[in-house]
Homo-oligomer: A and B are copies of this chain.
Amino acid sequence: MVTLKQLAKELNVSISTVSKALNNSEEIGEETVKRVKELAELYNYKPNKVALSLKQNKTKTIGVIIPDILNHFLAKVLFGVEREATKYGYNIITCISNESLEQEKESLRLLANGSVDGFILCLAEETQVKNEIEHFKKTISQGLPIVMFDRVAHDVLCDKVIVDDFDATYNATKSLLLEKRKNIVFISTLDGISVGKLRERGYRKAILETNTFEPLVLKIKKKDDQQKKIMSFFKKNTTIDGVIAADSSSGIIALNTGVKLGLKVPKNMSVIAYASKSDSFHTIPKLTTIRQHAKEIGANAAQLLINRLQNKSIEIDVKTKIVKTTLIKSKSTL
């Protein structure tokens, strides 16, 4: 990479003259500016990012820590963050915590050495289970702002972007009840994490309000064979006529299993799942989905962080933004 020094030497001027010329300073003579710019162009000069970061004490880089990149929702949020950040000239350093508290701490620690100006993150499952938050507080007290999304720690004072999990699941369940469904099951693989609990509660509230049947919950562990679990559950519970799935995989498999067992969907059984558009194509009939607008969540998180980074005025108040889900009716419901 060419440096100012090299340009200066070749042009027989000082480094500061070159710097000023390239930054369109008024001080420098027209002729000089022209000469400098031409040579810079020729050598494809670009200001060294690292030097700038050191000088200005900011990196224009955001650390993003997510529990699992293979989770479609989280990948989509990352996409939203990246796109929004790029707009404002920020880069993204991505770390994957693998749902592990230790890795989450380590990533935070490693990047809190001047590598990034702030963090956007989604809590690891283990972090939520153990309810550890000290590492977040420490990071923030070091002057690195954090924005949490989806799975957040309410006891940490920072900006947050969340989903209306409770309401959305409540409303989805209600909509099945309106279809006169009499035996709706809630299927979930998200037992450990906050959003999973919220979704279950939303479901339970809707069911309990009807006063006609008891909540019925099927929890599936990561290591289980999801297909077998759901199949044997359906065989045991033959009167199931509705499914609320907390994750896309459960929804897709539940629908396919119902069809396999001879149920007509949505005539005999309705299915609603938290899932994305592309997931909804993986069943016939197409899946009715609760969309979380992951890209928007990412974009919002990025905006909140960048705002905080660029606001010189010390804003003390933290914001929590709720990105509302949308129930997209398709062919798996009446």
Contact = CB atoms under 8 A, between A and B. Distances in A.
A175 interface: no
A38 to B, nearest CB: 19
A143 B46 CA distance: 14
Interface in A50-77: 50-51, 53-54, 59, 61, 69-70, 72, 75-76
Could you say which of A78, A83, A113, A257 has the most chain B C-beta atoms within 10 Å of its C-beta? A113
Contacts of A281: 226-227, 249, 253
A142 interface: yes
A292 to B, nearest CB: 14
Contact of A278 (B46, B83, B112, B249): B249
A177 interface: no
A22 to B, nearest CB: 13
Contact of A114 (B1, B96, B111): B1
Nearest to A45: B113
**Total copies of this chain within the assembly:** 2
Interface in A74-105: 75-76, 78-79, 82-83, 86, 91-96
A252 interface: yes
A47 interface: yes
Given A93-B61, A282-B253, A114 B50 contact: yes
A48 B113 contact: yes
A256 B283 contact: yes
Contacts of A59: 50
A119 to B, nearest CB: 13
A49 interface: yes
Could you say which of A49, A110, A143 has the most chain B C-beta atoms within 10 Å of its C-beta? A49
21 contacts: A1-B143, A44-B138, A47-B113, A49-B113, A49-B115, A51-B54, A69-B76, A69-B78, A69-B79, A69-B82, A78-B94, A86-B95, A91-B110, A91-B111, A92-B95, A227-B286, A249-B278, A253-B281, A256-B256, A256-B284, A260-B284
Interface of A: 1, 44, 46-51, 53-54, 59, 61, 69-70, 72, 75-76, 78-79, 82-83, 86, 91-96, 110-115, 138, 142-143, 226-227, 249, 252-253, 256-257, 259-260, 278, 281-284, 286
